[in-house]
A and B are shown apart, each in its own frame.
Chain A
Amino acid sequence: MRVEYINPFVESAYSILSEVLQTEVHRGELYLKSAAMPMLGVAAIVGLAGDVEGRVLFDMKLETAIAVASGMLTNMDMEPVTTFNDMARATITELANMITGQAVTKLHNLGFKFDLTPPAIFKGDNMEISDPDFEALIVPMEIPMGKIEVNVAIRERA
């Protein structure tokens, strides 16, 4: 993945998570993944378009998703959730949207023009994602509720 794209995603993940969860956030070592990757349980995907093509995926365990959603809701003086219901889904989707949105904004200011598509949420057991022609950058984010893997696969338009 193009070097210039890395920091905006890393910074946005850190800043948004810190703000909406009002908690300590630690970033793990960045690494590259290719081929099929098993998913943790809940994934929010935001598509990228424009000068590049690709997607950003936010991967986490079900319990982490519920805890994160609850954290975000309570910080907004709203009711927490106990199951992964529609509100939980909407909350995680919004998280994905904000992180990707902020990263895309930063990239835009650096001269890279891309846009994002509305997010989609996946939930299931034993899911796997495979992008045969894509190499993905993984930014692991550690929070008290668990781990969120920000998985970015971007390719320059040929």
Chain B
Amino acid sequence: MTDTVVQSEIEQVEQDVVDFKMVTFSLGGKDYGIDIMRVKEIAKFIEFTYVPNTAHYVRGVYNLRGDIISVVDLRAFFNIPAEKTEEGRPDNGLILRFESNLLGVIVDSIDKVVGISSKRVQPPHPIFGDINIKYISGVADYDGNLYIILDVDRIFRRDDESGKGPDTMARRRVERAEVTASDVPVTQREQTDGSDGIEGSVEETALTFIADGVQTFSDFYLTSINHRWFTGRVKEWLNRRLEQGKEYQLQEKADADAFLSPFLSRFTGTLWRDQYAEQFGRNLPATESTMYNVWNPGCGSGQESYSIAAILKRRFPNRQIKIWAGDKDLLPISSAPNLVFHEAEIPDGWEDFMVKGKNGLTFHSEIKEMILFEFSDILSVSALPKMDIIVARDILSFQRKEDQERIIERFDEVLKPGGILVVGDNEEISDSKTWKPVEAHPVKMYIHR
């Protein structure tokens, strides 16, 4: 009898050694705790800046004495119903710290700092939480209350670290595939729900900030057309910047341009060659008519248009080919009709299309006459005849979302059935009912049904 009494007394003493402190708070009527080492400060969030296109649990961003931090509503994240805060009344929350990042979280109310012995923390059992068990590091009772201790690291960990669960990655892959394969209108974006983990929210916040940055500085608009490339690039970018010890934010145009530099299609600004030119030529629609019409919006300084002309001339030497090439950037398009080349720039087999002048080589008038270079905006509605081919590389991504849709509709109207649409290497059209992908790698080609 004496042994057990002594034993329980010893246990009591052990349990009283405080080696774990947590900040406690309530969420949906239940008590939670977060390791104080992870809490930078307690906060009352007064004014947020709402950030569009983020998950429902991301409330926005907040200016914490100069640092811009994102703020997540834990109630929304865990899908716990919460009372709406009155207008003007601040939300209660914590500023959490992990690695070099800060994150704000909103809770119902902050309680107090509680010190317990880590031995008191028991492993989580699903019965204890309304929330996904992987975010619970344990439960502890204290002073008659049961506290669910959140594993902040797990919650905020990024994709590139080992902590990401295999099931979540699989889910992401499936969602992405669904978005691109289905008839998703351009405006819809990939949805992630809270159970995916806030480990996605850092990346998601980064994605939002970067998307805003490229839009502001470079007129690049993130939509389903470039989403796949964009998300891949964001991951790459975050890693690179982390390695360099730099912020991932795009502070100025140079950053945005650096981010976008791998986006542009191959042979932008130069004549097409090799596999690309070959595959383009091989997959051209064969028509019966003598007229062959091509629309080439966003032709820039014109090398693309000359390439199309040369390839078509080779393939259809006896057809009457006409190319409507336009761009709304005046400087490059105005030099297009008189573009001069150096011998080394001319792909093999095109030498006989060239004429020597005093400044260098230019295309023979036979080729030049095929192309109508126009200073024009793709958005203006002007009468165009039906086209056999549309080459619109890297132009859709630089149009506003609504305009992208309108332009694709216009392509649908203007391109003959069976006609070919070529878009940028990193772009894709998700409407598979209208646009069937053509196996013409490296050319991004679709056939108009």
How many chain A residues touch the partner (CB < 8 A)?
17
B330 touches A34 (CB 8 A): no
**Best-buried of B333, B375, B385 by chain A (most CB within 10 Å):** B375
Q: Which residue of A lies closest to B373 (CB)?
A: A3
A134 to B372, CA, bound (A): 16
A106 within 8 Å of B by Cβ? no
* B-contacting residues, A7-38, CB 8 Å: 7, 30, 32, 34
Residues of B within 8 A of A2 (CB): 372-375
- A4: chain B residues at CB < 8 Å are 337, 373
Instruction: Write out the residue numbers on chain A whose beta carbons fall within 8 Å of the beta carbon of B336.
Output: 3
Give CA–CA (A135, B379) in the complex, Å: 10
Contact A132-B381, Cβ < 8 Å, known A4-B337, A6-B334, A30-B330: yes
Contacts A6-B334, A30-B330, A32-B328: A1 and B383 contacting too (C-beta < 8 A)?
Answer: no
Q: Which residue of B lies closest to A135 (CB)?
A: B380
Please tell me which one of the listed residues A6, A34, A132, A133 contacts residue B377 in the complex, with CB atoms under 8 A apart. Answer: A34
* B376 interface hit (Cβ, 8 Å): yes
Please, what's the 1-or-0 string for A76-108, where 1 marks a CB less than 8 Å from any CB in chain B?
A: 000000000000000000000000000000000
- Interchain nearest-CB distance for B336 vs A (Å): 6
CB contacts (< 8 Å) of A158 on chain B: these are: 383, 385
Task: Point out the residues of chain B lying under 8 angstroms from A134, CB to CB.
Answer: 382
The residue in A2, A3, A155 that gathers the most chain B C-beta atoms within 10 A of its C-beta is A3
B399 to nearest A CB, angstroms?
Answer: 15
Q: List chain A residues, Cβ under 8 A from B333.
A: 3
Complex Cα distance, B328 from A1, in Å, reads 10
Task: Report the number of A-B residue pairs with Cβ-Cβ less than 8 Å.
Answer: 46
Cα distance, A32 to B376, chains bound together (Å)? 7
| Number of B residues with CB within 8 Å of any CB on chain A | 18
Given the complex, which residues of B lie within 8 Å of A7, measured CB to CB?
A: 334
Expressed in whole angstroms, the Cα–Cα distance for A34 and B381 within the complex equals: 8
Q: Which of B334, B337, B372, B377 contacts A135 (CB 8 A)?
A: B377
CB of A137 closer than 8 Å to a CB of B: yes
Q: Which B residues from 342 to 381 make CB contacts under 8 A with A? A: 372-377, 379-381
| A32 pairs with B380, CB closer than 8 A | yes
The digit string for A52-75, where 1 denotes a CB below 8 A from any CB of B, is 000000000000000000000000
Does B375 lie within 8 Å of A137, measured CB to CB?
A: yes
B374 A1 Cβ-Cβ under 8 A: yes
Q: How far is the CA of A132 from the CA of B334 in the complex (A)?
A: 25
A135–B383 Cα distance when bound, in Å, is 10
List, in ascending order, chain A residues with CB within 8 A of B328's CB. Answer: 32
- In the complex formed, the residue of B with least CB distance to A32 is B377
Q: State A12–B10 Cα separation when bound (angstroms).
A: 102
Contacts of B337 in A (CB 8 A): 3-4
**What 4 pairs across the A-B complex have the smallest Cβ distances?**
A34-B380, A135-B380, A3-B373, A32-B377
Chosen A-B contacts, 13 in total, with CB atoms closer than 8 Å, are A1-B375, A2-B374, A2-B375, A3-B374, A3-B375, A7-B334, A132-B381, A133-B382, A135-B377, A137-B375, A156-B372, A158-B383, A158-B385
